[in-house]
Chains A and B, each alone.
Chain A
Amino acid sequence: GQNIDQPTEMTATEGAIVQINCTYQTSGFNGLFWYQQHAGEAPTFLSYNVLDGLEEKGRFSSFLSRSKGYSYLLLKELQMKDSASYLCAVTDSNYQLIWGAGTKLIIKP
């Protein structure tokens, strides 16, 4: 079956750095997305990785290792507004988006 695993919840301190991991087992791979979702709102796009390596975009970076079926989202200089759920999603060989359950990130002052 297809499966995406990410931690249910993480806690970090304002100003610090946090890494949210995502591992996947899917039938084929055509890219991995990270989305941010605040409570009661729709997800917003953060990043897309299809090749191995690190993609940096401001305070957020995303890493992919296809051979390991592994990705992480790195958030630097955490702000209170970064408190949200972070969803990992993989596009499989049929270009279907397979979603993880999301990681709830709690930022403390």
Chain B
Amino acid sequence: GAVVSQHPSRVICKSGTSVKIECRSLDFQATTMFWYRQFPKKSLMLMATSNEGSKATYEQGVEKDKFLINHASLTLSTLTVTSAHPEDSSFYICSARGGGRDTEAFFGQGTRLTVV
């Protein structure tokens, strides 16, 4: 399958600082990228969908000013958690889709964010 690389895998930051998470499709062009958040023992919660070159579409309840998403190229999307708080601590996962809308999405390795 295709490879999606997510970096960093783990990050610890202080309250009030910002953290950037990168998601790269290594061997295909990702026309659409998805950002998920997962709480312990819970399923994936879609935060936003981004298409290359356009603004991300955020799900209801997700603060777009707090979770900044940039999808500037067909191989890179970034999620920036701004002014992080301890309640933002979570597992963040990106996935990328290169083909039509019915094709599978490939997942990055995930990022464990801990805000102290």
Contacts and interface: CB of A to CB of B under 8 A. Distances in A.
A41 B43 contact: no
Contacts of B107: 42-44
A42 B110 contact: yes
Contact of B105 (A40, A97, A102): A97
Contacts of B105: 97
A21 B50 CA distance: 31
Chain A binding surface SS class: loop
Interface string A73-100: 0000000000000010001000111011
Contacts of B95: 42
Interface residues of A, number: 20
A95 B43 contact: no
Interface of A: 30-31, 33, 40-45, 48, 50, 87, 91, 95-97, 99-102
28 contacts: A30-B101, A30-B102, A31-B102, A33-B104, A40-B91, A40-B110, A41-B109, A41-B110, A42-B6, A42-B93, A42-B107, A42-B108, A42-B110, A43-B44, A45-B1, A45-B106, A48-B104, A50-B102, A87-B44, A91-B102, A95-B101, A95-B102, A97-B34, A97-B46, A97-B105, A99-B43, A99-B44, A101-B43
8 nearest A-B pairs in the assembled complex, by CB-CB distance: A95-B101, A42-B107, A42-B110, A101-B43, A99-B43, A42-B93, A99-B44, A102-B43
